[in-house]
Structure formats: structure tokens, C-alpha cells
Structure 1
């Protein structure tokens, strides 16, 4: 289960302590195979936690994964150290000439702003378009999923009367989808957002709803024409992440269905970890089965559809 990440990235120590195989550059070269190149545009405030969460899931595969951490070219992250960003992240302007088998864009704490009011919106739109010519498969999470749907399809987001916050039951709507292979009919997923995308706004756009919740609505949408998955919720979250958000927000309403007996002093139980590994494992497997061997052919939709 190898993943290649920078030697001194803090997430490396976390993953090694969990038993995940993290490769050195020398070991990766010795295998003499082409790794799957996965890029991660990390827009979340806590960079280190998000790096570990996603590297954990991307690395839980028999395939060799090479993870590249990417940042916006001009935007300066306010909640991450400049040294960390300089040491481990490459600006998108530096990688835009390269090709990736997979590319992940995270959520961001700008959800209640209009998309056009986000200071890096123009560059993000360029990145979305770039995924169509330089990326084989993309995975957009939470706000990034809403933003990509708005950019590609004009699908709006809608403000919620109160935050959808907690762990909610979801159902698989397309068990035959390669992305839902092995999923239960009913499963739990963490949700943390102030806005939503509505099913009626997707009609006639070639989009398929894969996962949905009666309580919190759409969760996972497939956009096959663009090689994209849109995940509005947070299977990648650690057990403690919702608790940290609850404390960060001044101990407002409790996250639903999360603390035992709704007691914030009680430890939460992670009921979604296995499905997180399933989704990411299925996504990586689908990339491996369909990506061109030659990097130069990645992003050419005519070849991928052949």
C-alpha cells in the first residue's frame, strides 16, 4: 500500500504510525513502474490535517501513488505557515504544464460567499478548465464540488436555514457504479455545510446522482463527460474532525448523530471509515483501469472515450 510523499511532510509521520507504507524516492525509483500521479489542491484551513486525511485514503491501495500538493498561485493561506507551504506545496502556475492521472480539490471556508466574490475564483476556474486537458479523473469535495458544478453547468448553490452538521444516513442509488462497488445500501457520512445543491437543478445536464440522504440531500454526483466526481460531504474526515469544528465555532448546536447520547464530553464513534476507503479505493481503481499509459495522452477525452 505505497504512497510517495515528501520525506519531511508532517502527514508522513502520522501515516507511518498507522502502518501505511510511505515510500522514499529511492524505493519508488527502484520499482521501475509508472506511479499514478495524483494532485491535491488543498484549500482547507488546517493543511496538515487535510493532507493526512486524504493521503491516508489515497495510499490505501496496492498501486504506487505519487502525491503532489498544490496551492493557488497568488492567494496566501492565512491559517498555514509560510514555511510549510513553501516546503511542500507547488503553485498551480508551476504544475499547469504537467499531467495527472487524478486530481483532488478540497472544500474551503468560503461557502457563504458568492463564487465570484472569492478572491481566487478566476484562477480556480482556470484550474477547473485545466482538468479537462491535463487530468484523467478529478474529485471535487464540498465547496469545490459546488464550485465546479457552477462553473461547468451553471448549477447554483442554495443557502440552508441552518447548518447541515453531523453524521447522517445515506443510500446508494446506483450499486452498479464502479465508484460504489462494495458499498452498503445504507451508510453514514459526516456532513458540514451551510449550502446545498438541489436535485432539480441537475436535470438535463448529463449528471448522475450516486448517493443521497433523506435528511441532507445530494451527496455524490458523477459527471462522466468531464471525468469528475462531486462529493458534497466529508467521508475523508477523522473521527474527531466534527468535534474540532464544533469547538472552533463556539460550541453552537451539537453535530447530529455524532456524540454518544449527544454528550459532547463522550468520545464520538467513527461509523464511516470503511466507506471512505471504499470510495477512494474505487476511484483509484477506476483511474488505474482507464488512464492512458503515456502521460502525454492524459486529458484527451477523444482517446479516453475510444
Structure 2
């Protein structure tokens, strides 16, 4: 089933070329069903790329999904045009009186900053509190997961000696959890970050449960007791070449970034890395939409 997004959103053409069902307004209104309303707080600098990556995963479901994009009003974007933001994005003030079935909070390349130094931290804290009363389930990704665990549970991030960068093998800890239904015993996920969240800090909170982890990349998937909060430390939404582009960009900037672990074939940076994580990423998003959004949300979102 389709995702309903603005007709002129740049991601729309890309998704349709990939045979992902994108529905226009007139057809959506003709269907006598209530779509799931998902709000995406996009904190990534190049917002168009993240839009396509997330919509690709949200479109792989039998449910009709209607998307609203948010950006922090207290932050001036340097990599996305004002025209794009004004055309396709809303501010928190525009939506705070509404309820949503689901919410996604993306990562942001600012993990070296203390949370309180982030320009939009106060606004984000307000949105995190709002999500507990106005959203059925919120999926937090990478820095978004770290920020939410810090705000809700007081769990701070920890600096890593070197960048956690590459594609890492993960294993399941809770095989019967709905989020992992259909998963293989081991699966791969890209990571790209300078900080981590200690396993012991998470386990000290009885209301949090670790569902999957990696021996090398650490804790990957965490949920609270009822699935209203889901925390993902990696980037399953990434394309095959996302880490490659990030590596080349870092090197061009003179940064001493290491070659991503287990990513380039034979560490040949000129080759196209294989895509090893797409199936499990689709499964994670469809499981979240089904078990923690669709099956938990009321029909009338009052």
C-alpha cells in the first residue's frame, strides 16, 4: 500500500522509479480508510536524501501512511533551501495541537556536542515531552535515540576513541519481540557516529529492554515496556553508497577518517559496496508500523 506525500516532493519521482507506491491526494481521498498519520522530525542536514531513505522504508507496508515533515524552527538550515522547507515542512507550532499515530526522529551529525549546546535543544525537549502524550509510538534514530534516552531517562552518551564507522553484524537478544518478528538470528546494520550509549546504563532502567546488539558496535535496538518509545542506534535507512559518500567527504575535508569497517570489497574505496541490510531495515519499519503503531493506535486520534 502507498505512502501519501506532497505531489512535488523531490523524493516522489525517485520512489516511483523504484516501484514504490506513492499516492497522490485525489486518489487517497477516494479510499474509504483512515491512513496512519506519521510525523517525521528530520534533523539531518541534507533533508532531501533522508526523506527518500525513510519514505522508501515506510512505503513497504500494506497500510496507507500519510506523512508530515517537521524541522526545528529554532535552527537555520545550511544545507536545505528555505524554499524546500517552506513548501514541504511544518514547525512544531503548526502540529502541537494534533495527535499522530507514529513519529520518527532522525539522527543529526552533532553527537560531539553536549546536548545542552545544541541550538534547538529546548525545542527538541518540548517535542520529546509532547510525543509521550500526542503520539502512539516514536521511533528514534542514532543521535535522535541518544537525545531521547538522555532527556527521558538521564542516560548520557559516551565518547568513542575512534569513529564507529562501517557495517556490523548484530544478533537478537529478545527473539519473541514483535519488532524483530521475521528477523534472522544475525543481521547487518551500518553505523556512523563518534559516541555510544553504555549497555550498563540502559540495563539500569527496568522499563527499558535491549532487543538486539553487536559485539563490535554495541547496543542497537532498545524499546520501553510498551513499545511507545523505540531507540535505534544505527542507520538501516542508509543507501548502499551513503557511507562511501561520507568517507570521501571527510577525506576531502582533511579529516583522518578510517575506511568503514567491512564495507568496501577488499577495502577498495573505488568499488560500490554491497547492500547487506535493506531486507532487515524494511522488516524493522514494517514491524514497527504494524505492531506498535497500527495495532495500538485508536481509530479516532483525540
| Fold shared by both chains (TM-score > 0.5) | yes
Q: Report TM bin, short chain.
A: over 0.9
1:222 matched residue in structure 2? 223
Q: Which residue of 1 aligns with 2:266?
A: 261
Alpha-carbon deviations, 1:208-230, whole Å to 9, x = none? Answer: 00110000111110113571100
CA contact (8 A) 1:3 1:22 kept: yes
Distance 1:203 1:272 in 2: 27
Secondary structure at the aligned position of 1:171 is classed as: strand
Instruction: Please tell me whether residue 238 in structure 1 is matched to residue 239 in structure 2.
Output: yes
Distance 2:208 2:241 in 1: 33
Aligned twin of 2:248: 247
C-alpha distance in structure 2 between counterparts of 1:89 and 1:267, whole Å: 33
- Decide which of 259, 277, 284 is 1:279's aligned counterpart: 284
State the distance in 2 between where 1:97 and 1:37 align. 14
* Residues 1-306 of structure 1: pairs in structure 2 closer than 5 A: 1-205=1-205, 206-224=207-225, 227-250=228-251, 252-286=257-291, 287-296=293-302
**Could you list the runs of 5+ residues in structure 2 that have no partner in the other structure?**
none
Q: Which 4+ stretches in 1 moved above 3 angstroms?
A: none
In the aligned structure 2, how far is the partner of 1:280 from the partner of 1:4?
16
Structure 1 Cα separation of the partners of residues 191 and 179 of structure 2: 19
Q: How many Å separate the matches in 2 of 1:220 and 1:78?
A: 31
Question: Deviation of residue 204 (structure 1)?
Answer: 3.5
Where 1:295 maps in the other structure, the secondary structure is coil
Contact 2:74 2:119 in 1 (8 A): no
2:203 and 2:209 in contact (8 A); partners too: no
Question: 1:245-281: CA deviations, max 9, x gaps?
Answer: 1011116311010111110011100000000000000
Superposed displacement of residue 207, structure 1? 0.5
**C-alpha displacement of 1:46:** 1.2
How far 1:25 sits from its partner (Å)?
0.6
Partner Cα distance (2:167, 2:227) in 1:
29
Number of aligned residue pairs:
296
Structure 1 residues without counterparts, runs of 5 or longer: 297-306
Q: After TM superposition, give the deviation of residue 75 of structure 1 in Å.
A: 1.3
Give 3-state SS (helix, strand or coil) of 2:295's partner. helix
- Normalising by structure 1, we get a TM-score of 0.95
- What is the distance in 2 between the residues matched to 1:265 and 1:122? 42
Separation in 2 of the partners of 1:42 and 1:187? 26
| 2:38/2:104 contact within 8 Å kept | yes
**How many Å apart are 1:74 and its aligned residue?**
2.3
